[in-house]
Amino acid sequence: MLDPDAARRITDAVDAAFDQQLEFTAELVRHPSLRSAEASAQNLMVAQFQQRGLSVDQWTLDGDSLSTHVGYGPTTVDFEDLTNVVGTYTAPEGQEEQGRSLILNGHVDVVPTGPEETWENHPWDPVVKNGWMHGRGVGDMKAGLAANLFAFDAVQAAGFSPNATIHFQSVVEEECTGNGSLAALQRGYTADAVVIPEPEENMLVRANVGVVWFRVRVSGKPTHVREMASGFNAIDAAYSVMGALRELESRWNAERANHRYFEDVDHPINFNIGMISGGDWPSSVPSWCEFDVRAALYPGIPAAEAWEEIQECVRTTEFGAAVSAERTGFFSEGYVLDEGSDAEATLEAAHQETFGSALESFTTPGYLDGRVFALYAGIPALVYGPVSEAIHGFDERVHLESVRRVTKTIALFIADWCGVTERSQ
Amino acid sequence: MLDPDAARRITDAVDAAFDQQLEFTAELVRHPSLRSAEASAQNLMVAQFQQRGLSVDQWTLDGDSLSTHVGYGPTTVDFEDLTNVVGTYTAPEGQEEQGRSLILNGHVDVVPTGPEETWENHPWDPVVKNGWMHGRGVGDMKAGLAANLFAFDAVQAAGFSPNATIHFQSVVEEECTGNGSLAALQRGYTADAVVIPEPEENMLVRANVGVVWFRVRVSGKPTHVREMASGFNAIDAAYSVMGALRELESRWNAERANHRYFEDVDHPINFNIGMISGGDWPSSVPSWCEFDVRAALYPGIPAAEAWEEIQECVRTTEFGAAVSAERTGFFSEGYVLDEGSDAEATLEAAHQETFGSALESFTTPGYLDGRVFALYAGIPALVYGPVSEAIHGFDERVHLESVRRVTKTIALFIADWCGVTERSQ
């Protein structure tokens, strides 16, 4: 453990630079890093890495390589638009590398805004009101991306140099496939622990679900509306298929007692119908309808197994012959953060120091890139981050006092986990 | 009535030119005259009018003028792309104008094809198989547009000149607003009768429904799928609103006993959900969903009254506060062809002559431009045309023997209704 004086110097340094941190967070939000449009935000990250003297690795995701991985999410976009950035810190010359290495991960991609006019403030023009910063992606997770960097700054500003390697990862594709973090792992980035400051209400994620994305297409024989009874209405049929999927969702939820950490979660398995389109003429009975589904699965269930069950479900509906389903993104298992790791103990101590209360862990029914590190590299994945509201919604916002404390926690975690050497003045 | 010899000469002339008629019908189908893209097909009609020495009137629809009419359908496209064409025949110099004038109307617009790969033959490349011509719009109603012209040709080829004015109308917008025929009426075209050879199974339309098009938009508060229960799912809500509309549809169908000519129609009132779209991300609870509806109403019910009831229906659903509805096309009343008109008697006689059986009339639950002439100008509207299959569907087709006989019927109708003068040889 750090001595109390060192800890105080580090957390004071977070306070001292906090205005700058918020300024940078807002700057990140001003770059609308929607899927396949992350380039300008990634360039901003590169500039930040360079300013800090980190060695920078920027590369385009490789579909051929990714697609061989069991955790790969089939993609519907061009890989050439998808670039990861990693900035790496190594202990200065003369300082022996001796602590435990660390990945500080965050995703730069954000989800669409929905109709912008529904936002109280413009989604790409962040404002601070009553202690919250508002904007698309500010909670999920640009505040976290900034916290990783400014936590590191605070350690250095307090006069310390970490003793171990730290990789700062700014990845794409977290909101749709998880291929960004997967590509970083495939490129060879590993460490003794990873911290991902997703918006988790100042808590640690103990377990989370896997997620499968798929598109269901219903297609049949259209006709003039005057003969409506003789035509197959794909929009009506789509709704019927949705009903069958809802029944599968219910069955899976009913099994939660059999899944450790999910026993008491109210509705851990959510099937979300997130997009729909169908038909081409109001007076023609629609011949096709497509809808996009995000389904969740418990840790320990292979995505392929869940996918089999989903396909069986849509095939055996009344309209089975007219229905097809294809994977369109996430194809991921869930994970559990094993209790009792050194990494978790280190985070607990840091959190206790900054919040003055014990770190709580919880189970989240959302996807997290933590699974990449946990499942495929055995790295303790600490997903821990600030209080937010309305992520994926209108008026997304993050609580600034929470961001401040989370940043302090990460800073103390860096110092304790990696070890630090006091620089001579 | 025509003498039998004259009638035979006219129907023989239809036979003589029938191959040419089919060739022209196929040529019309090769022009994909989808909404706002009718120009090339209309140019073809102009050329045909000019070849026959008709005086040609081609004009762009005028939104300002149309929108003042009670039968106007609010449009979602630019008027500048919408052009009507009328070719007018008047009796040759020296021949006294003495018969009854006639409009031969047809629409040139066709509905979308749906996925083209689902067609057995390419929708814009007509083929003849087993006595049917296949292609989008061939039944609805390019075979009819061609029949109008070739019926007229046959009268002339048989050595006769009609004694009265005939307006050949090729109108747009029949599949969406009815504004094309309405514009022709507003421009001053009237006559003592109108024939519209829509695909009506060799029968005469006695009554038809009015139609209202509208778009329902459901919008609410999106959220991350992990908090699905706290978010408002606009796609789910949209289906709930559809359910309410289905109940209104049932109520209206239950009232059919009160509507003359609809008492025995199985399901006269169809509400068709023809298009749907919503959401922008599979893992966000969708914040909006829109769907397009085509609703029918009985003759005698003002469209405004039906529209009030529809709005009330969507407003009072569980999600009423999140729902809006706007008119997007047809805003038309239905009509009844009064029994006992001279025009009908003339058509009956012509049909008996060509088919050797009595003309049957029926009630159709589809929209027809006939209402424009019937409701707003008191013109007997004879909607009568060939046998078709799968209009608005895949592999739309029209029965060629039926087209031949319908053409003969129209030719005899022209001769009898307008009167003819035998040209000196």
Contact A291 B219 (CB under 8 A): no
Distance between CA B179 and CA B73 in Å, rounded?
A: 6
Arithmetic mean of pLDDT, A403-418 = 98
- What is the per-residue pLDDT across B46-91, written as a single tens digit (0 to 9) for each? 999 999 999 999 999 999 999 999 999 999 899 999 999 999 999 9
Of A274, A282, A391, the CB nearest to B272: A282
Distance from CA of A215 to the nearest CA of B (A): 9
Q: A77 pLDDT exceeds 70?
A: yes
Please list every residue in chain B whose beta carbon sits closer than 8 Å to the beta carbon of residue A199. none
Residues B340-363, mean pLDDT to the nearest whole number: 97
Nearest CA in chain A to B216: A282
Residues of A with Cβ-Cβ distance to B111 under 8 angstroms: 281, 283-284
pLDDT score recorded for residue B97: 82
Question: What are residue A65's phi and psi, to 5 degrees?
Answer: -70, -45
CA of A99 vs chain B CAs: smallest distance (Å): 36
Q: A274 vs B285: CB contact, 8 Å cut-off?
A: yes
CB < 8 Å to B392, chain A? 222-225, 281, 283-285
pLDDT tens, residue by residue, B134-149: 999 999 999 999 999 9
| B59 DSSP β-pair partners | B84
Answer yes or no: are the C-beta atoms of A38 and A54 closer than 8 Å: no
User: Please, what is the average pLDDT of chain A?
Assistant: 95
C-beta separation of A409 from A222 below 8 A: no
- Kindly tell me if the per-residue pLDDT of B416 is higher than 80: yes
- Give the pLDDT band (50/70/90) at residue B423: confident
- Could you say which DSSP state residue A424 is in? P
What is the reported pLDDT for A363? 97
- Per-residue pLDDT at B321: 80
pLDDT one-digit tens code per residue, B158-186: 999 999 999 999 999 999 999 999 999 99
Which chain B residues are closer than 8 Å to A278 by Cβ? 275-277
Is residue B339 a contact partner of residue B345, using CB atoms and an 8 Å limit?
no
User: Which of B205, B253, B283, B289 is most worth mutating to test chain A (most A CB atoms within 10 A of its CB)?
Assistant: B283
Contacts of A120 (CB under 8 A, 6+ apart): A134, A394, A395
pLDDT at residue A28, as a whole number: 98
pLDDT number for residue B194: 98
Chain B contact set for A282 (CB, 8 A): 176, 213, 272, 274-275, 292-294, 328-329
Q: CB distance B279–A275 less than 8 Å? A: yes
pLDDT for B184 equals 98
Q: How far is A309 from chain B (nearest CA, A)?
A: 19
Decide if B279 and A282 are in contact by the 8 Å CB cutoff: no
Average pLDDT over residues B387-398: 94
Residue in chain A closest to B175 (alpha carbons) equals A283
Among A221-225, A308-312, B110-114, the range scoring the smallest mean pLDDT is A221-225
Residue with tokens 């790295």: A379
Share of chain A above pLDDT 90, in %: 89
Q: Which residue has the tokens 């030119």?
A: B17
With a CB cutoff of 8 Å and minimum separation 6, the contacts of A3 are none
Q: Which helix (H) or strand (E) holds A143?
A: helix A143-157
Helix pair angle (B342-355, B4-16), 10° resolution: 70
Query: How many Å apart are CA A141 and CA A107, to the nearest integer?
Result: 7
Q: Do A283 and B235 touch (CB under 8 A)?
A: no
Distance CA B358, CA B266 (A): 24
- Set of chain B residues whose Cβ sits within 8 Å of the Cβ of A223: 390-393
Question: Which residues in chain B touch residue A211, judged by CB atoms under 8 angstroms apart?
Answer: 283
**Structural domains for chain B:** 4-208+334-422 (3.40.630.10), 210-332 (3.30.70.360)
Q: Mean pLDDT of all residues in chain B?
A: 95
Contact A393 B211 (CB under 8 A): no
For residue B95, the model assigns a pLDDT of 84
| Residue B272 with chain A: CB contacts under 8 Å | 225, 228, 233, 282-285
Of A267, A277, A287, the CB nearest to B276: A277
Task: Please report which confidence band the pLDDT of residue A388 belongs to, taking 50, 70 and 90 as the band edges.
Answer: very high
Say yes or no to pLDDT of B226 above 80: no
CA terminus-to-terminus distance, chain A: 23
pLDDT digits (tens, 9 = 90+) for A390-407: 999 999 999 999 999 999
What is the H or E stretch that residue A162 is in? strand A160-162
Give the number of other CB atoms < 10 A from CB of residue A374: 23
Structure tokens that stand for B354 in this block: 């060509």
**Quick one: three-class SS letters along chain B?**
CCCHHHHHHHHHHHHHCHHHHHHHHHHHHCCCCECCCCHHHHHHHHHHHHHCCCEEEEEECCHHHHCCCCCCCCCCCCHHHCEEEEEEECCCCCCCCCCCCEEEEEECCECCCCCHHHCCCCCCCCEEECCEEECCCHHHHHHHHHHHHHHHHHHHHCCEEECCCEEEEEECCCCCCCHHHHHHHHCCCCCCCEEECCCCCCCEEEEECEEEEEEEEEECCCCEHHHHHHCCCHHHHHHHHHHHHHHHHHHHHHCHHHCCCCCCCCCCCCCEEEEEEECCCCCECCCEEEEEEEEEECCCCCHHHHHHHHHHHHHCCCCHHHEEEEEEEEECCCEECCCCCHHHHHHHHHHHHHHCCCCCEEEECCCCCHHHHHHHHCCCEEEECCCEECCCCCCCEEEHHHHHHHHHHHHHHHHHHHCEEECCC
pLDDT bracket for residue A318 (50, 70, 90): confident
**Could you tell me the pTM of the whole model?**
0.92
How many angstroms separate the CA atoms of A336 and A262, rounded?
11
B203: Cβ–Cβ under 8 A, 6 or more apart, which residues?
B359, B360, B361, B362, B384
For the ranges A54-63, A318-327, B13-22, the lowest mean pLDDT is seen at: A318-327
Give A210 or B98, the one with higher predicted confidence.
Answer: A210
How confident is the model over B380-391, as a mean pLDDT?
Answer: 97
CA B392 from centroid of its chain's CA atoms:
12
Q: How confident is the model at residue B233 (pLDDT cuts 50, 70, 90)?
A: confident
Task: Identify any residues that bridge with B160 across adjacent strands, giving them in sequence order.
Answer: B422
Please report residues of B whose CB lies closer than 8 A to that of A276: 235, 276-279, 286, 289
Euclidean distance between CA atoms B29 and B9, whole angstroms: 29
Pairwise CB contact (< 8 Å): A292 & B279: yes
Nearest chain B residue to A225, by CA: B272
Identity of the residue numbered A33:
S
User: Could you report the per-residue pLDDT of B258-276, keeping only the tens digit for each?
Assistant: 999 999 999 999 999 999 9
User: What is the rounded average pLDDT of the residues B392-401?
Assistant: 95
> What confidence tens digit (pLDDT) does each residue in B183-216 have?
999 999 999 999 999 999 999 999 999 999 999 9
DSSP for A56-83, written as a single string:
EEEEE--HHHHTTSTTPPP-SS-GGG-E
What is the ipTM for the molecules in this complex?
Answer: 0.91
Question: For residue B14, what pLDDT is reported?
Answer: 98
Cα dist from B371 to B169, B202, B208, B368, whole Å: 15, 19, 8, 6
When computed from its CA atoms, the radius of gyration of chain A, rounded to whole angstroms, is: 23
- A8-32 average pLDDT score: 98
pLDDT of B425 > 80? The answer is no
Q: Are strands B102-107 and B194-196 parallel, antiparallel or unpaired?
A: parallel
